[in-house]
Amino acid sequence: MMKIAVLVSGNGSNFQALIDANLSGQIVGLICNKASAYALQRAKQHNIPTCVIEHQNFPTRELFDAAMHQQLLDWDVDLVVLAGFMRILSAHFVNQWQGRMLNLHPSLLPAYKGVHTHQRVLHTGDRLHGCTVHFVTAELDAGLAIAQGVLEVNCKDTPTTLQNRVHELEHLVYPEVVEWLCTKKLQYVDANTLNFRNKPLTKPIRFCQ
């Protein structure tokens, strides 16, 4: 059974969606960089071990990442799932988990890397928006996209309504992708190649709202 660690910084609604999905893998621990994060309560309610590693206690990004890496090794983790983890990771850390670390981003990548994605979509006037699940590479929000949740932007949407609507899609798409990995339906081959049901995945699988 695949051992999964989830990394979060805040509320953890996607962490909750992963718990609720009853995955074929086991969530063996939650790492959080903020002691006040609500995600920690969610973990306790489900008897999932937690580890708080506060970034401000480390003089460098590399030392913070090394502490997380050690915890992941201690839990004997197979898959690292970033779910609203708001820290940039060092290339060294990312490379150690290449092909074994997923991220969820609130935009249709490659559009809108970085922060404030909902505001930026509204500002540009895009008709489509959503979320992307991708493997993590050293370059921010640039790894191979596996799946996307897509929605149509309404004329009445605000950054808050878009955030809520994207969250709904995220809660659907992220557990699905993690389950594909747990059941080996999805396989990482190399930085440019993914197989889905034993065939190369040429474009992200799309879920529509």
Task: Report the interface residues with ligand GAR, using CB under 6 A.
Answer: 8, 10-14, 83-84, 104-106, 131, 167, 170
Considering the complex, what minimum distance in angstroms separates the CB of residue 107 from ligand GAR? 8
Specify whether the CB–CB gap between 148 and 176 falls below 8 A: no
Considering the complex, what minimum distance in angstroms separates the CB of residue 50 from ligand GAR? 15
Considering the complex, what minimum distance in angstroms separates the CB of residue 138 from ligand GAR? 15
Identify which of residues 112 and 180 has a Cβ nearer to ligand GAR in the complex: 112
Name the residues annotated as catalytic.
Answer: 105
Considering the complex, what minimum distance in angstroms separates the CB of residue 105 from ligand GAR? 5
Identify which of residues 91 and 189 has a Cβ nearer to ligand GAR in the complex: 91
DSSP state of 47: T
As a whole number of angstroms, the distance between CA 18 and CA 134 comes to 16
The b/e string for 130-157 (b: 16+ C-beta within 10 A; e otherwise) is bbbbbbbbeeebebbbbbbbbbebeeeb
* C-alpha R_g of the chain: 16
Dihedral sign for Cα atoms in the order 112, 14, 150, 119:
negative
Identify which of residues 74 and 205 has a Cβ nearer to ligand GAR in the complex: 205
Question: Which among 164, 72, 64 is positioned nearest to 118, based on CA atoms?
Answer: 164
As a whole number of angstroms, the distance between CA 177 and CA 180 comes to 5
Nearest residue to ligand GAR by CB is: 84
Q: How many CB atoms lie within 10 A of CB 3?
A: 15
Identify which of residues 2 and 173 has a Cβ nearer to ligand GAR in the complex: 173
